[in-house]
């Protein structure tokens, strides 16, 4: 594989920003499907892909989520064309025989509910990272958030399932409204070691 051009790296990382303001430009359903079709290829343990994505596009659905958010997140949710609840399915082992056929019976490795939840949360978080990068790759901006009532969201949007909320992310075409200055990042020496 070849290194991506600097313009692509800028779009994905160095010039990309967490957006708080959004234009009125809608995101058509085919773009949401294309977004998921990129995300699904990101690696997870045993190809488990436990993340579940609930795309809230209607004003009513976004209002239900906004009522369960904290601080200024409600306004961001309501303004964005789409806000996504990234969840994780605790029943993901049931799909492993299909998704990871090269190790028959792998779903039996997840008989401990605590270990299953850790695996689901960890791997859905990976998929959430892929989601952010895939959205940026498609020319969308992203505003990920964790300020919301998880139990309330689970009850409101996932009642009757074994899906739990991980985080939320507004997506669309961002504006500079309420854009914070870029905050510093840790240097390599403070965050990493080579042994």
Confirm whether 10 is domain-assigned.
no
Tokens 């008989």 label which residue? 111
Q: Which two structure tokens, joined as six digits, stand for 153?
A: 């969201």
CATH of the domain at 132: 3.40.109.10
Report pLDDT for 26: 97
pLDDT more than 90, % of the chain: 96
Confirm whether 188 is domain-assigned.
no
Tell me how far apart the alpha carbons of residues 88 and 104 are, in angstroms, rounded to a whole number.
23
Confirm whether 4 is domain-assigned.
no
Confirm whether 149 is domain-assigned.
yes
How many residues appear in the chain? Answer: 195
Q: Where residue 54 falls among pLDDT bands split at 50, 70, 90? A: very high
Indicate the average pLDDT of the chain.
96
Confirm whether 23 is domain-assigned.
yes
The residue that leads in pLDDT, 186 or 180, is: 186
User: Please, which residues bridge with residue 54 across strands?
Assistant: 85
Confirm whether 76 is domain-assigned.
yes
* Euclidean distance between the first and the last CA atom of the chain, given in angstroms as a whole number: 26
Q: Which domain holds residue 89?
A: 17-177
How many domains are contained in the chain? 1
Confirm whether 22 is domain-assigned.
yes
Confirm whether 195 is domain-assigned.
no
Report pLDDT for 22: 95
């Amino acid at each position: 594989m070849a290194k991506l051009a600097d313009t692509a790296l800028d779009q994905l990382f160095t010039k990309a920003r967490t957006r708080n303001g959004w234009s009125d430009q809608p995101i058509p359903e085919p773009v949401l499907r294309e977004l998921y079709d990129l995300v699904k290829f990101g690696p997870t343990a045993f190809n488990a892909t436990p993340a579940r994505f609930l795309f809230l596009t209607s004003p009513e659905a976004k209002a239900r989520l906004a009522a369960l958010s904290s601080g200024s997140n409600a306004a961001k949710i309501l303004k964005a064309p789409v806000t996504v609840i990234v969840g994780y399915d605790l029943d993901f082992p049931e799909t492993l025989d299909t998704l990871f056929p090269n190790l028959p019976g792998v779903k039996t490795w997840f008989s401990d509910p605590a270990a299953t939840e850790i695996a689901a949360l960890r791997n859905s978080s990976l998929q959430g990272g892929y989601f952010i990068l895939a959205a940026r790759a498609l020319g969308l901006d992203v505003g990920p958030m964790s300020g919301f009532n998880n139990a309330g969201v689970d009850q409101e949007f996932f009642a009757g399932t074994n899906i739990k909320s991980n985080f939320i992310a507004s997506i669309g075409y961002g504006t500079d409204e309420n854009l914070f200055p870029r905050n510093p990042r840790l240097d390599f020496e403070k965050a990493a070691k080579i042994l």
